[in-house]
């Protein structure tokens, strides 16, 4: 008996205006492959579209989580107070800046 098709995943890459010209190859376990194929079929997508969409959505969420910093009100205030009123550099900090400028070469 064929399982009903339920579109669980929207193709989030469809609006990206560029051709599919690059490949990503990877190996996986048989059970993982079967699970992905079943979920893809239930979603009405082929294996590639399903996998690419799931990976792309996860990548976007991961990047967003790493780029966002949430602070409580007291932490927010302390953070901006420190920016507005920086403490004087210590001798160790001055030494660190000096070592940095002597060892790091920028092009």
Confidence (pLDDT) at 82: 94
* Cα–Cα distance for residue pair 73/78, rounded to 1 Å: 9
Dist CA 98 CA 92 (whole Å): 10
Quote the CA–CA distance of 20 and 48 in Å, as a whole number: 12
pLDDT (tens digit, 0 to 9) for every residue of the chain, 107 residues total? 666 656 557 788 888 999 999 999 999 999 999 999 999 999 999 999 999 999 999 999 999 998 988 889 999 999 999 999 999 999 999 999 999 999 988 76
User: How many other CB atoms are there within 10 angstroms of residue 18's CB atom?
Assistant: 7
Q: What is the pTM of this model?
A: 0.58
Q: What is the pLDDT of residue 12?
A: 85
Q: What is the CA radius of gyration of the chain?
A: 24
- The pLDDT score that the predictor gives to residue 2 is 64
């Amino acid at each position: 008996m064929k399982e009903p098709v339920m579109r669980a995943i929207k193709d989030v890459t469809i609006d990206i205006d560029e051709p599919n010209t690059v490949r990503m190859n990877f190996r996986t376990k048989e059970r993982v492959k079967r699970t992905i194929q079943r979920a893809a079929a239930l979603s009405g997508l082929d294996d590639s579209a399903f996998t690419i969409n799931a990976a792309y959505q996860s990548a976007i969420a991961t990047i967003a989580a790493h780029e966002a910093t949430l602070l409580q009100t007291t932490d927010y205030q302390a953070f901006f107070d420190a920016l507005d009123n920086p403490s004087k550099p210590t001798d160790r900090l001055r030494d660190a800046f000096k070592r940095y400028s002597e060892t790091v070469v920028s092009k």
